[in-house]
A and B are shown apart, each in its own frame.
Chain A
Amino acid sequence: MLTLFYGPGACSMAAHIVLEESGEKYEPKKMDLAAGEQRTEAYMKIHPLGRVPALRLDDGEPLTENTAILPYLGKRFDLWPKDPLGESKALSLIGFFATSVHPAHAHVGRPERYTADQSAFPGIKDMGLKTFHNYLKQIDSMLAGREWFFDRYSVLDPYGFVFYT
């Protein structure tokens, strides 16, 4: 059985939604991020960076990062493009979410990741907010005239949803 380690309000919500929709029995492990549960020795064995999401697979092996977890779940639950070009486009969009949109949001919410100089926090937050909003406009354009990010509902939709919340 799959086990999902997630934090309320974090980007792990995408995998949480996919698993909840799958109909397959899984074990949800809610992490208390504010209390630092993600940095305990036990969890660091699952995800050495101390972040969510992490997925413990049926054989006990851990899988980390949305860039890996979402394609895995998508293929497992038929929420992933089957043709090579569609798959490449899905990976491209996951990459955009994970390496551009999410870090821009982190500049707003977690400026301490980028400098120890607290006097620089307002500038980092301000630039992060502008960048994040520009990315949201790009996402808005991607969805023009379409119901979902691809021809049918896929794991990209819960991931895109995360940034609206």
Chain B
Amino acid sequence: MAELKNYTAHKDRMLKRAAVGRVVADEKIKV
């Protein structure tokens, strides 16, 4: 996935959002 630089940057932007962090923790997602 790391080679998908734009998509990876989007993922990183998403993870900076507090609500996303709460959902990822609640659903026990490893990103």
A residues touching B (Cβ–Cβ < 8 Å)?
A: 6, 8-9, 13, 16-17, 20-21, 28, 30, 136-137, 139-148, 157-158, 160-161, 164-165
Contacts and interface: CB of A to CB of B under 8 A. Distances in A.
A143 B23 contact: no
Contacts of A141: 6
10 contacts: A8-B26, A8-B28, A21-B20, A136-B1, A140-B5, A143-B10, A144-B6, A157-B10, A157-B14, A165-B29
Interface string B1-31: 1001111111101100101101110111111
A66 B23 CA distance: 17
B27 A164 contact: no
A8 B10 contact: no
A147 B13 contact: yes
A9 B28 CA distance: 8
Contact of A161 (B11, B26, B30): B11
A139 B30 CA distance: 20
Contacts of B14: 157-158, 161
A41 B9 CA distance: 42
A137 B28 CA distance: 26
Contacts of A145: 6
Contact of B31 (A17, A147, A148, A165): A165
Contact of A143 (B6, B27, B29, B31): B6
A118 to B, nearest CB: 28
Q: Which 5 A-B pairs have the closest CB atoms?
A: A143-B6, A8-B27, A21-B19, A20-B19, A140-B4
